Amino acid sequence: MKIVYVDNNATTKVDPEVLEVMLPYFSELYGNPSSMHFFGGQVQKKVNEAREKVADFLGAEPSEIVFTSCGTESDNGAIFGTLNSYPEKRHFITSRVEHPAINNICPYLSRKDYRITELSVDRDGRLDLDELKESITDETALVSIMYANNETGVIFPIKEIGEIVKSKGIPFHTDAVQAAGKIPLNMKKSTIDMLSMSGHKLHAPKGIGVLYIRKGTKFSPFMIGGHQEKGRRGGTENVPYIIGLGKACELAKKHLDDENTKVKALRDYLEKNILEKIPNTLVNGDRINRLPNTLSVSFEYVEGESILLLLSDLGICASSGSACTSGSLEPSHVLRAMGVPFTAAHGSIRFSLSVYNTKEEMDYIIEHLPPIIQKLRDISPFWKDYLKSQGKKII
């Protein structure tokens, strides 16, 4: 079956070049980087090189890079690592649209007597920076705001947020799992103290993440063990994956221009055609400050899981913010926080592209999506009601 993979915010294909550099580190160069002998020492050299590549990609120092197992560990590590460093401060600020790796920590912190402020977003998924300013107090231990949203692709003004937070002397963390590899990041020119990223969102394998910790940031390790990662994250290095991530970052840096030209052009082409060919369709989120690869679009009066399964039947892999796909009964917390009406929230589909996608694939989607939506609207009781209310002729 033809496969059109447009779910790259969920995960990406491991680049063949990445896989190639990883392979020797399984059964040939399998030494432990901490060992004294040459066999481990040669591996340590390669781990250092990979660390330099990741640092170069982020505009950071190699010593500021901590390898973790995934984005969630990086997020958890940043939050608990900071809160434990400031035990007297009991206030945490974040947003209502964070990834579950942050969002689901909030109820836990509440039970531990933390006060939580979750900043709201407007209909386009944008933050109100005045609300942020007003929320910060002497009690605030940490502010964590995502760089870009995984569902809508909306990019937050991280530079301004960082300046506000740092002007009050408070640590600032950002979850950049979706931003890394899609838009330029430069820690030297930013006020970010900590940043999370995940390998498998930029063509490295699943199971490797990074927590950037700016030099001088107070941090209590979350994973306690050996001296690895300068004592900030115990555990023997995941060598093959670290090597792979180094390569992936090198490639991502090279492809960054493509993301903003080629990938963005494909996304815009897909968006334009969907909006033209399918009535009662709306784009979710700020269309200007948005990741170049992401399109969240809602089809009124139909339900997302049904759309996804009909697409899947044709080999098109996308995702949805609808309730039914996640096992929960309510649509995504992101769309609800934005106040997307129920007529549209249940019928949201996210297309997320990568450098591997082609125009031909976009045409395939554009050809098959309109009849799918029409089929489901023909089954939906609300579509006919809507047409009636518009005084349209019903066929």
Partner 1 sequence: MWEYTEKVKDHFLNPRNVGEIDNPDGAGEVGSLACGDALRLTFKLDKNKRIEDVKFKTFGCASAIASSSAITEMIKGKTLEEAEKVTNRDIAEYLGGLPEEKMHCSVMGREALEVAIANYRGEKVKKEDFEIVCNCFGVTDREIIKAIRENDLKTVEQVTYYTKAGGGCAQCHPKIEAIIEKVRKEMEKEAPPVRPERKKLTNIQKIKLIEETLGREIVPALKADGGDLDLIDIEGNKVFVALRGKCSFCPSSEFTLKQYVESKLREFVSDDIVVEEVRP
CA 199, 215, 58, 19 dihedral sign is: negative
CA–CA gap between residue 62 and residue 56 (Å, rounded):
8
Q: Three-state DSSP class for 380? A: coil
Nearer to partner 1, 187 or 314 (CB): 314
Site for partner 1 in 103-122 (CB under 8 A): none
Segment lying near partner 1 (by CB under 8 A), choices 12-20, 31-39, 284-292, 327-335: 327-335
Q: Three-state DSSP class for 234? A: coil
Q: Residue 101 carries which side chain, given as an amino acid letter?
A: A
Nearer to partner 1, 212 or 383 (CB): 383
> Smallest gap, in angstroms, from Cβ of residue 283 to partner 1?
20
CA–CA gap between residue 61 and residue 66 (Å, rounded):
11
Cβ contact 5:231 at 8 Å? no
User: How many residues belong to the site for partner 1 (CB under 8 A)?
Assistant: 27
CA–CA gap between residue 271 and residue 255 (Å, rounded):
22
Centroid of chain to Cα 33: 30
Our finding on whether 280 is near partner 1 (CB under 8 A) is: no
Nearer to partner 1, 253 or 384 (CB): 384
> Smallest gap, in angstroms, from Cβ of residue 3 to partner 1?
15
Segment lying near partner 1 (by CB under 8 A), choices 52-60, 130-138, 170-178, 375-383: 375-383
**Candidate list 70, 249, 317, 324, residue with the active-site label:** 324
Our finding on whether 324 is near partner 1 (CB under 8 A) is: yes
Nearer to partner 1, 263 or 310 (CB): 310
* 276 CB-contact burial (10 Å; exposed 0-12 / middle 13-18 / buried 19+): exposed
Q: CB neighbours (10 Å) of residue 134?
A: 10
Segment lying near partner 1 (by CB under 8 A), choices 32-40, 89-97, 317-325, 348-356: 317-325
CA–CA gap between residue 190 and residue 176 (Å, rounded):
13
| Sheet strands side by side (includes 140-144) | 65-68, 209-213, 194-198, 172-175, 140-144, 91-95, 115-119
Question: Tokens standing for 316?
Answer: 């098109």
Segment lying near partner 1 (by CB under 8 A), choices 128-136, 238-246, 263-271, 373-381: 373-381
Would you give the binding string for partner 1 spanning residues 297-316, x where CB under 8 A is met? ----xxxxxx--xx--x---
Based on its alpha-carbon atoms, the radius of gyration of the chain, rounded to whole angstroms, reads 22
Active site residue 249: no
Our finding on whether 356 is near partner 1 (CB under 8 A) is: no
Nearer to partner 1, 49 or 313 (CB): 313
Question: Tokens standing for 292?
Answer: 């170049």
H/E element, 119: strand 115-119
Our finding on whether 387 is near partner 1 (CB under 8 A) is: no
> Smallest gap, in angstroms, from Cβ of residue 306 to partner 1?
6
Nearer to partner 1, 197 or 302 (CB): 302
User: Helices then strands (H, E): number in the chain?
Assistant: 16, 13
> Smallest gap, in angstroms, from Cβ of residue 72 to partner 1?
21
Nearer to partner 1, 342 or 356 (CB): 342
Where does this chain bind partner 1 (CB under 8 A)?
Answer: 301-306, 309-310, 313, 322-325, 327-331, 342-343, 346, 378-382, 384
Instruction: Report, as residue numbers or ranges, the catalytic residues.
Output: 324
